[in-house]
């Protein structure tokens, strides 16, 4: 027996004594990713790991894309923000830059994401609510007023309306006196993940991929300092993906975009160094750090297929953002701690830039107070912890290196599964990633509801009484009126002939397949075509994409098999159904332009397993359309899911629409990101119950059954 083996044997014996007869194996943690995490790692776990012994700045870049990493230059503090109007957002950015922020990251409102001008009737409840409203170059000029675009890099999270937004940005730079060659930053431009999770798409997948390729082509030629795409796993994790899924699907998306650009005739070394990535950082600290290391390892492997000559083409560079999903409404100051740990994980993993969430973002846009704490979290990390002094401090850790290899192995297997289907576009069309992510999300929710996964302050150590937070409340109506006034002014002052010519040229490029769509859109933006007009021109050529909602089954219920609490609820529903003479029917409705559907899908799946007859409504409905579907489907309850702050506009309109159709007997409930301050308003406007963030699904089902039994009704 070797000395190492003898030591492990002695340790196991000692551990068994401390565990009073249980073996150390009983401490193994089986993660959501299917990785068995042992209680102890040793040199034995490093045997055969091929990535060991590599150096930072050198392929395969496991230890970081730059040789000196933070010892030479710290990561960029890039806080993501956007507030109602361009004026307010501009003021916020300027203050943040003066206080130590090192780049601008723009959050757009949902109307903008979906390619609608603020005056469109479908976006009444969405304008300015979850980000800044941008309708034309005039808004974009205000947004960056006093911010030198040749010196400050700008990240823009935009996918659906990526063409008009990037066109407006380029023209804004021009009119600020900055040549497009000097513009630096990133446009997300990652449409494949929109079809999987976030759903802020506009056009069908094939047309959307053409847009991606056109942007890569244009920026490679005209904007050498600008990243043409940020391939995003962030929204996958936020939608419920485990870390293996986030890693695999993100890199598979990246491979698809590279293929699309090469098919366009572009040389790989011309654009690959400007590709960037975007990952979420959750609470599994060491695994998140290992994930970033594994991502760099696997991307280097992916790029070997394309035979680039430049080392930079093999290099994965990434922005990270701490998890929004891990933020809790309950005991919200805990979120400051969560964000700090997640930020540490991102830094230990070697991110190139970082956004830290504010503690109040579980329920609203951040206040100036909470945003300062979030920004200072990074400043403290950079200046007070010593974490910037050493390159890749986790290198050589038995645990982290083993995790890095384990994640890489599992993610590569899933990447190969996607390849066998014909690549990511085909996998997305067939629905594989979406289904796997929704199953993972539902499985995790069941674990939280059961108490198997502890969330401090939510399902354990909960406060008896919660203090109300001061939150940022956006006057949606005032923002919309101001935006409409500016749109009307822009349309009055532009040259109608020039506008008509550029829009016609854009339509021709889109229809014919000849020419570059972004190039044509820049001309249209210069002529003051609005975001909605540019989007409509492309809609005319490509059509709108409309997804058919599908709900996973037998995931939530399976996790609860044999649990008395669950079985009693199922039996209670069965008894009620017999008395009613039918199974109670629930419509899960998504209103407005909010495409985040994790909560809605979990509710639909779990309620279906409990025994409700569930109708999963399509995304982006108006209140009248949802009411029409509810009446046509003969539902007993409408559950409106809200994550983007439109509930005060949309929920009362839904109640009134049902009344107008003679269906005021249908119960309306609201769930999602709803501040407690808004509960009374909703209840006073006909909503029967409100289920805020962190609500146990079984508790929600019991409450809905109470309503059906007549214990409470909407008023």
Name the residue among 386, 292, 283 with its Cα closest to residue 337.
283
- H-helix or E-strand containing 112? helix 110-113
List, for residues 531-589, the tens digit of each pLDDT value.
999 999 999 999 999 887 888 889 999 999 989 999 999 999 999 999 999 999 999 99
Residue 645: pLDDT band (50, 70, 90) is low
At residue 326, what are phi and psi to the nearest 5 degrees? -75, -10
Residue 457: pLDDT band (50, 70, 90) is very high
The pLDDT value given to residue 466: 82
List, for residues 261-298, the tens digit of each pLDDT value.
999 899 999 999 989 999 999 999 999 999 999 999 99
3-state secondary structure of 111: helix
Mind telling me the catalytic residues?
80, 234-235, 590, 594, 596
What end-to-end distance do the CA atoms of the chain give, in Å? 76
- H-helix or E-strand containing 659? helix 647-660
Residue 715: pLDDT band (50, 70, 90) is very low
Residue 659: pLDDT band (50, 70, 90) is very high
Q: Which residue has the higher pLDDT, 75 or 675?
A: 75
Mean pLDDT, the chain, rounded, equals: 93
Q: 167 and 198 in contact (C-beta within 8 Å)?
A: no
Q: Does 140 have pLDDT greater than 80?
A: yes
DSSP state string for 184-204? -EEE---HHHIIIII----S-
The pLDDT value given to residue 624: 96
Q: Does 68 have pLDDT greater than 60?
A: yes
The stretches of 529-587 forming alpha helices (DSSP H) are 531-542, 556-559, 564-580
Query: For helices 564-580 and 697-708, what crossing angle results, to 10°?
Result: 20
The pLDDT value given to residue 465: 85
Q: 66 and 441 in contact (C-beta within 8 Å)?
A: no
Q: Does 336 have pLDDT greater than 50?
A: yes
- DSSP β-ladder status, 637-642 and 667-672: parallel
3-state secondary structure of 588: strand
The pLDDT value given to residue 311: 96
Mean pLDDT across the stretch 302-314? 97
The residue to which tokens 């229809």 are assigned = 511
Mean pLDDT across the stretch 439-462? 94
What tokens does 82 get? 């956007």
The pLDDT value given to residue 714: 44
The pLDDT value given to residue 1: 56
The stretches of 283-367 forming alpha helices (DSSP H) are 285-304, 334-349
Mean pLDDT across the stretch 400-416? 98
pTM for the model stands at 0.92
The pLDDT value given to residue 712: 52
Q: 27 and 257 in contact (C-beta within 8 Å)?
A: no
Name the residue among 336, 329, 337 with its Cα closest to residue 370.
336
List, for residues 37-66, the tens digit of each pLDDT value.
999 999 999 999 999 999 999 999 999 999
The pLDDT value given to residue 163: 98
List, for residues 102-123, the tens digit of each pLDDT value.
788 898 999 999 999 999 999 9
């Amino acid at each position: 027996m070797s000395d190492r083996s003898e030591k492990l044997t002695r340790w196991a014996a000692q551990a068994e004594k401390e565990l009073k007869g249980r073996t150390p194996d009983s401490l193994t943690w089986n993660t959501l990713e299917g990785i068995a995490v042992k209680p102890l790692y040793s040199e034995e776990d490093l045997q055969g790991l091929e990535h060991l012994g590599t150096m930072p700045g050198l392929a395969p870049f496991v230890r970081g894309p730059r040789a000196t990493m933070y010892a030479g230059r710290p990561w960029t503090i890039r806080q993501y923000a956007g507030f109602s109007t361009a004026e307010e957002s501009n003021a916020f950015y300027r203050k943040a830059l003066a206080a130590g922020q090192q780049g601008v990251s723009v959050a757009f409102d949902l109307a903008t994401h979906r390619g609608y001008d603020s005056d469109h009737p479908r976006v009444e409840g969405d304008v300015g609510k979850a980000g800044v409203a941008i309708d034309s170059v005039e808004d974009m000029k205000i947004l960056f007023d006093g911010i030198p675009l040749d010196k400050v890099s700008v990240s823009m999270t935009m996918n659906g309306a990526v063409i008009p937004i990037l066109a407006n940005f380029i023209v804004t730079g021009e009119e600020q006196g900055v040549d497009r060659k000097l513009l630096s930053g990133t446009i997300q431009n990652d449409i494949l993940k929109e079809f999987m999770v976030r759903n802020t798409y506009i056009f069908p997948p094939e047309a959307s991929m053409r847009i991606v390729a056109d942007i890569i082509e244009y920026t490679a030629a005209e904007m050498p300092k600008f990243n043409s795409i940020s391939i995003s796993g962030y929204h996958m994790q936020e939608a419920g993906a485990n870390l293996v899924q986030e890693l695999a699907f993100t890199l598979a998306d990246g491979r698809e975009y590279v293929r699309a650009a090469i098919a366009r005739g572009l040389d790989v070394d011309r654009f690959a160094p400007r590709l960037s990535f975007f990952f979420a950082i959750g609470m599994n600290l060491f695994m998140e750090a290992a994930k970033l290391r594994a991502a760099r390892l696997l991307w280097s492997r992916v790029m070997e297929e394309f035979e680039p000559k430049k080392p930079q083409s093999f290099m994965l560079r990434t922005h990270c953002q701490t998890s929004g999903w891990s933020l809790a409404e309950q005991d919200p100051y805990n979120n400051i701690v969560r964000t700090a740990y997640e930020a540490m994980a991102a830094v230990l993993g070697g991110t190139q830039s970082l956004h830290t969430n504010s503690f109040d973002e579980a329920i609203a846009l951040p206040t100036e107070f909470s945003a300062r704490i979030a920004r200072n979290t990074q400043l403290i990390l950079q200046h007070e912890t010593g974490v910037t002094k050493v390159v890749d401090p986790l290198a050589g850790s038995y645990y982290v290196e083993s995790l890095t290899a384990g994640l890489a192995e599992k993610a590569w297997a899933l990447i190969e599964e996607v390849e066998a289907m014909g690549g990511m576009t085909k996998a997305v069309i067939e629905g594989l990633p979406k289904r796997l992510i929704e199953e993972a999300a539902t499985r995790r929710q069941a674990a939280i509801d059961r108490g198997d996964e502890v969330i401090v302050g939510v399902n354990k150590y909960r406060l008896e009484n919660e203090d109300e937070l001061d939150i940022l409340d956006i006057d949606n109506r005032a923002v919309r009126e101001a935006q409409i006034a500016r749109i009307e002014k822009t349309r009055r002052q532009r040259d109608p002939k020039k506008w008509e010519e550029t829009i016609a040229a854009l339509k021709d490029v889109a229809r014919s397949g000849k020419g570059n769509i972004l190039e044509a859109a820049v001309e249209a933006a210069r002529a003051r075509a609005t975001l909605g007009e540019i989007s409509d021109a492309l809609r005319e050529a490509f059509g709108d994409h409309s997804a058919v909602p599908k709900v996973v089954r037998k995931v939530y219920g399976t996790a609860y098999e044999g649990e008395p609490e669950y079985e009693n609820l199922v039996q209670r529903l069965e008894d009620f159904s017999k008395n009613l003479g039918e199974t109670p029917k629930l419509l899960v409705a998504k209103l407005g332009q909010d495409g985040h559907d994790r909560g809605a899908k979990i509710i639909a799946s779990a309620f279906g397993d409990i025994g409700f007859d569930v109708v999963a409504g399509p995304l982006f409905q108006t209140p009248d359309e949802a009411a029409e579907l509810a009446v046509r489907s003969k539902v007993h309850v409408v559950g409106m899911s809200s994550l983007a702050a439109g509930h005060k506009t949309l929920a009362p309109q839904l109640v009134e629409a049902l009344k107008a159709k003679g269906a005021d007997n249908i119960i309306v409930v609201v769930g999602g990101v709803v501040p407690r301050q808004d509960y009374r308003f909703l209840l006073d406007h006909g909503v029967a119950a409100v289920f805020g963030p962190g609500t146990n699904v079984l508790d929600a089902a019991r409450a809905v059954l109470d309503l059906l039994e007549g214990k409470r009704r909407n008023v």
